[in-house]
């Protein structure tokens, strides 16, 4: 195979792999609604994502904090379908039931409010 053909194949493979970029799916099976209904757990997650101190975070919390800002600003472009569903559930709950917490999260990770602008249906 010529060098040009090999280069073309590598470029196509790289392009296709880039399009499949998603966040790690290992947290897809977390019961988001159970977390949202448990004030102790919810407070721990919120404390983690609003903190720069890793000692306040579980591994799940660290992952959430790492991807939250990008996920909100890009409308969850790299989310798996389950992550998108969970994000919508979580944001809707926070906006409608924990507005003070949501405002802190939004101010830190999405100060322009772009996520809610794209999803006005999340406000009841």
How far apart are the C-alpha atoms of 92 and 12, rounded to whole Å?
39
Q: Which residues make Cβ contacts (< 8 Å) with residue 87, sequence separation at least 6?
A: 71, 76, 79
Enter the pTM of the model: 0.78
User: Helix, strand or coil for residue 59?
Assistant: helix
Model pLDDT, residue 100: 96
Structural domain of 75: 3-122
Count how many domains the chain has: 1
Residue in the structure block whose two tokens are 């073309």: 8
Domain harbouring 64, CATH code: 1.10.2080.10
Residue in the structure block whose two tokens are 């880039």: 18
C-alpha angle 10/16/22, rounded to 5°?
130
List pLDDT tens digits, range 42-87. Answer: 999 999 999 988 887 998 888 889 899 999 999 999 999 999 999 9
């Amino acid at each position: 195979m010529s060098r040009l053909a090999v280069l073309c194949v590598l470029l196509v493979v790289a392009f296709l792999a880039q399009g499949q970029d998603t966040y790690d799916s290992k947290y897809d099976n977390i019961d988001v609604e159970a977390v949202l209904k448990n004030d102790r757990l919810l407070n721990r997650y919120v404390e983690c994502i609003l903190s720069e101190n890793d000692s306040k975070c579980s591994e799940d919390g660290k992952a959430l904090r790492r991807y939250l800002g990008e996920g909100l600003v890009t409308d969850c472009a790299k989310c798996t379908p389950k992550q998108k569903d969970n994000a919508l559930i979580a944001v809707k709950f926070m906006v409608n039931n924990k507005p003070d917490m949501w405002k802190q999260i939004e101010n830190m990770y999405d100060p322009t409010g772009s996520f809610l602008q794209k999803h006005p249906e999340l406000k009841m």
